[in-house]
Amino acid sequence: MAPAPAVHITDSLEEFQSEEQRQVLDTVAQIRKCGLDAILPLPQIAVCGNQSAGKSSVLEALTEIPFPRNDNLCTRFATEITLRRGAADSLRLCIIPDGSRPADEKAAISAFSETIVDFTELPNIMSKASSVMGINSAANSSSEGSSHQAFARDVLSFEIEGPNRPQLTVVDVPGLIQNVTKGVTEQDKRIVAEITDFYIKQERTICLALDLRKKAASDAFLSSTEKEASSNLRFFTTCHPSLKNTSSFRASARLVRIEHIKRELPNLRRDLDIALAETTAQLDRLGSTRATADECRNYLTTLSLKFLETTKAAVDGHYEGDYFQDFADDGFDIASPQSVKRLRAAIQYVNQDFAETMRRKGPKHFVSWEDSVHEPSKTSLKANAIPTLSRQEALAWVARVLVRSRGKEPIGNYNPLIIGELFWELSSKWELLATDHVDTVADLCSKFTDRLLEETCPRDIRARLSALKIADGLQARKARATAELNNILEDKQDFPIVYNHYYTDNVQKARQKRMEKNLGRSIEAATSHQHLPNCNSNHTSATVDIDVALRHFHGNTERDMEKHSCEEALDCLLSMYKTQQKTFVANVTSQVIGRHMVRKLDKLFTPLDVNGLSDEDVMKVAAEPAATRRQRDFLADRQQKLLSGKNIFRGIMGRIK
């Protein structure tokens, strides 16, 4: 085993471990150690500035790591230095590849890992890292036609642990390029700017932006102590009093970092809670693991129970569950997915619409009590395509049918079978309207099950389960509903017979209305008007001759027996139509829709169905693909890290002032 890294720890590093600050720094260290830095931006220090601005000196002042320095050498990639408190001394270097690299390059770069025992080995290790990243050397970078890049978006990570280490993370980013020179292209300049932007835009990063005058060349030959003395003399002469020397700079940086961390911890906890809730929701949508037939069967059984309970609640109109609570209070729109989730309300809505459609569009034509109707405008024709017949036009239509339907009945009577023929013609549109209604309800049921599966199981299972069970079940229910509708339509083709007093009431009302109309005409014909004597006004007195009125009334009745038959047949037809229409709407909504399409919809997918599936079918439906397993592992690892971070916060948030 290699000996521990020979790195001297000075009092300056111990300053980062004072009791006053230990708890805050330990908190961030614990959060970083549990892997949350890969999920949430954590507080860190980023040192940035122009090339040769003294970033290496600042890094060494903060970490006391002697980074290689050379007038012809510049940082070609971001370097992340993480100091942690650990049981034993260790120093490990690795490369975090840029996410945009191809998979094979990522694998090769991720394989780089080095452990050193002395910081004198650091220049060689950094040179190796540059080669792994495909970065030119100083000599090659100036050569023309070089196929390698001068800078990389990869990150060289230092992880240094020890019992006396401070808790600190510092990032050194490549120096900004002001001018394009030999060996440095515009693309290099842009890459460096993008790397710098990436770090300084992170909300919890403390950016140490350096703009120092260039150091003397003789500094390269000074010892560490001499360098500090030189730095104190040259770099801090004109600075703020808190930055007069390296020690005061460390103290100021420490205080700024402590306050920054204390300020960001509540925000970090909030972001952690949000990320944990989102991750947990994603895992819940994936469900339990499904690798074996038993696991798949258990998963489908649980899913079928939820399907059964939710569907039954929707069919019964019990909307207390969480599934129904995302309803927006902006009206009930049958096209809205939220409205479809409340299935019973949606069914009631379309049934009511069907009844109204039957009333408005059910008859082949309407019949008016007026002897003539106004010519409809083009606008009204577009709005209502159902023609309206005047009373005389309707009687003419009945007369034509009466003539071709006449049997042995005496003149003045009509063949009762004419009512059936007139009714079938008047109700000829019912089949189309009822079929459309069945299609509408079938579409609602399909949307309901699709929405329910979408919110309770992953997409791959949703498609396979629908193909195996749900789609066929819905199709079978629609087929039974269509067969029931055909039976009702077949019954309608028989001669209509009613036992409802509503029919006789309507016939009597129609006869009474017709009689009142004829009586009114007779009274008007028997009425004479005389001027009042000794009156200068135009006022008259009306006198009704009762005998004349009766003769006129009876004369009209006896004179046109054919018209009387047509009047009677038309009254019976309209009364029959109203009665049969109500019965038809009730039969379609209860027997077709209620019995075959809505009732027992919760039995579409039950635990008994799952129990009846073979192991092969169970695996076909529920076995998760490799991509889902990888996603589950990723989310589970992410959730575990977030839970660990939550536990850390639970233990310390109340104690940090």
| 138, two tokens | 């100083």
Q: How far is CA 181 from the centre of its chain?
A: 51
In angstroms, rounded to a whole number, what is the distance separating the alpha carbons of residues 334 and 353? 11
- Burial grade of 410 (CB within 10 A; 0-12, 13-18, 19 or more): exposed
- pLDDT for 268-291, tens place per residue? 888 888 989 999 988 887 777 888
How large is the average pLDDT for residues 142-164?
72
Q: Is 287 left (phi over 0), alpha (psi -120 to 50) or beta?
A: left
Q: What is the pLDDT of residue 596?
A: 96
- Burial grade of 354 (CB within 10 A; 0-12, 13-18, 19 or more): buried
In angstroms, rounded to a whole number, what is the distance separating the alpha carbons of residues 129 and 580? 89
63, pLDDT greater than 50:
yes
How large is the average pLDDT for residues 327-337?
75
312, pLDDT greater than 80:
yes
- Burial grade of 134 (CB within 10 A; 0-12, 13-18, 19 or more): middle
In angstroms, rounded to a whole number, what is the distance separating the alpha carbons of residues 122 and 138? 17
Looking at per-residue confidence, does 253 or 459 come out higher?
459
User: Which residues are within 8 A (CB) of 626 and not within 5 positions of it... i.e. 6 or more apart?
Assistant: none
DSSP code at position 496: P
Give the amino acid at 111.
Answer: A
Q: What is the pLDDT of residue 250?
A: 59
- pLDDT for 453-463, tens place per residue? 998 888 888 88
User: Do residues 283 and 624 make contact, with C-beta atoms less than 8 angstroms apart?
Assistant: no
Taken in order of first residue, the domains within the chain and their CATH numbers are 11-222 (3.40.50.300), 298-378+385-527+543-622 (no CATH)
Q: What is the pLDDT of residue 254?
A: 63
- Burial grade of 94 (CB within 10 A; 0-12, 13-18, 19 or more): middle
Most confident stretch, 248-257, 437-446, 607-616: 437-446
User: Which residues are within 8 A (CB) of 404 and not within 5 positions of it... i.e. 6 or more apart?
Assistant: none
For the ranges 194-208, 371-385, 544-558, 601-615, the lowest mean pLDDT is seen at 371-385
User: Do residues 350 and 334 make contact, with C-beta atoms less than 8 angstroms apart?
Assistant: yes
Q: What is the DSSP string of 354-367?
A: HHHHHHHHSSSSEE
Give, in order, the Cα–Cα distances in Å from 462 to each of 324, 444, 517, 635.
20, 18, 66, 21
Most confident stretch, 343-352, 362-371, 411-420, 618-627: 343-352
Sign of dihedral through CA atoms 286, 288, 294, 298? negative
How large is the average pLDDT for residues 357-373?
83
Q: What is the DSSP string of 40-102?
A: S---EEEEEEBTTSSHHHHHHHHH-------TT----SEEEEEEEE-SS-EEEEEEE--TTS-
384, pLDDT greater than 70:
no
Collapsed DSSP state (helix, strand, coil) of residue 529 = strand
190, pLDDT greater than 70:
yes
257, pLDDT greater than 70:
no
How large is the average pLDDT for residues 577-584?
92
- Burial grade of 46 (CB within 10 A; 0-12, 13-18, 19 or more): buried
Give the amino acid at 216.
Answer: A
Q: What is the pLDDT of residue 40?
A: 80
Confidence tier at 349 by pLDDT (50, 70, 90): very high
How large is the average pLDDT for residues 64-74?
63
- pLDDT for 110-126, tens place per residue? 899 888 877 788 888 88
Q: What is the pLDDT of residue 245?
A: 55
Confidence tier at 506 by pLDDT (50, 70, 90): confident
In angstroms, rounded to a whole number, what is the distance separating the alpha carbons of residues 323 and 334? 17
Q: What is the pLDDT of residue 1?
A: 43
593, pLDDT greater than 90:
yes
Most confident stretch, 68-77, 561-570, 633-642: 633-642
Max intra-chain CA distance, the chain: 143
Q: What is the pLDDT of residue 138?
A: 44
How large is the average pLDDT for residues 597-616?
93
| 291, two tokens | 């690798």
Q: What is the pLDDT of residue 236?
A: 41
- Burial grade of 37 (CB within 10 A; 0-12, 13-18, 19 or more): middle
Confidence tier at 228 by pLDDT (50, 70, 90): very low
How large is the average pLDDT for residues 541-550?
73
Give the β-pairing of 155-162 and 90-96: antiparallel
220, pLDDT greater than 50:
no
Percentage of the chain beyond pLDDT 90 is 23
The closest alpha carbon to 546, from 560, 526, 532, belongs to 526
HSE value, Cβ hemisphere, 13 Å, CA-based, for 322: 3
644, pLDDT greater than 80:
yes
Q: What is the pLDDT of residue 350?
A: 96
The closest alpha carbon to 427, from 515, 525, 358, belongs to 358
In angstroms, rounded to a whole number, what is the distance separating the alpha carbons of residues 43 and 260? 8
Q: What is the pLDDT of residue 246?
A: 58
| 276, two tokens | 């944990």
Please write down the HEC assignment for all residues of 103-144: HHHHHHHHCCEEECCCHHHHHHHHHHHHHHHCECCHHHHCCC
How large is the average pLDDT for residues 517-530?
75
In angstroms, rounded to a whole number, what is the distance separating the alpha carbons of residues 48 and 451? 52
The closest alpha carbon to 125, from 154, 150, 151, 91, belongs to 91
Q: What is the DSSP string of 455-469?
A: HHS-HHHHHHHIIII
How large is the average pLDDT for residues 350-357?
96
HSE value, Cβ hemisphere, 13 Å, CA-based, for 375: 1
Record the pTM. 0.59
Q: How far is CA 59 from the centre of its chain?
A: 47
Sign of dihedral through CA atoms 237, 243, 249, 253? negative
Confidence tier at 144 by pLDDT (50, 70, 90): very low
| 485, two tokens | 């509708």
Q: How far is CA 108 from the centre of its chain?
A: 39
User: Do residues 177 and 51 make contact, with C-beta atoms less than 8 angstroms apart?
Assistant: yes
Q: How many C-beta atoms lie closer than 10 Å to residue 128's C-beta?
A: 14
- Burial grade of 488 (CB within 10 A; 0-12, 13-18, 19 or more): middle
Give, in order, the Cα–Cα distances in Å from 124 to each of 78, 119, 128, 129, 214.
17, 10, 6, 9, 26
301, pLDDT greater than 90:
yes
How large is the average pLDDT for residues 468-482?
94
Confidence tier at 532 by pLDDT (50, 70, 90): low
What angle do the packed helices 246-286 and 19-33 form, to 10 degrees?
40
Alpha helices (H) in 201-245, listed in sequence order: 224-234
Q: What is the mean pLDDT of the chain?
A: 78
Confidence tier at 148 by pLDDT (50, 70, 90): low
How large is the average pLDDT for residues 84-91?
76
Q: What is the pLDDT of residue 358?
A: 95
In angstroms, rounded to a whole number, what is the distance separating the alpha carbons of residues 538 and 207? 105
131, pLDDT greater than 50:
yes
How large is the average pLDDT for residues 88-105?
83
Q: What is the pLDDT of residue 557?
A: 59
Q: What is the pLDDT of residue 477?
A: 96
Give, in order, the Cα–Cα distances in Å from 127 to each of 132, 197, 200.
9, 25, 26
| 172, two tokens | 């050194």
Confidence tier at 330 by pLDDT (50, 70, 90): low
For the ranges 141-155, 200-214, 347-361, the lowest mean pLDDT is seen at 141-155
Q: What is the pLDDT of residue 221?
A: 41
495, pLDDT greater than 50:
yes
Give the amino acid at 234.
Answer: R
Q: What is the pLDDT of residue 8?
A: 47
Percentage of the chain beyond pLDDT 70 is 76
Looking at per-residue confidence, does 183 or 467 come out higher?
467
For the ranges 58-72, 139-153, 250-264, 485-499, the lowest mean pLDDT is seen at 139-153
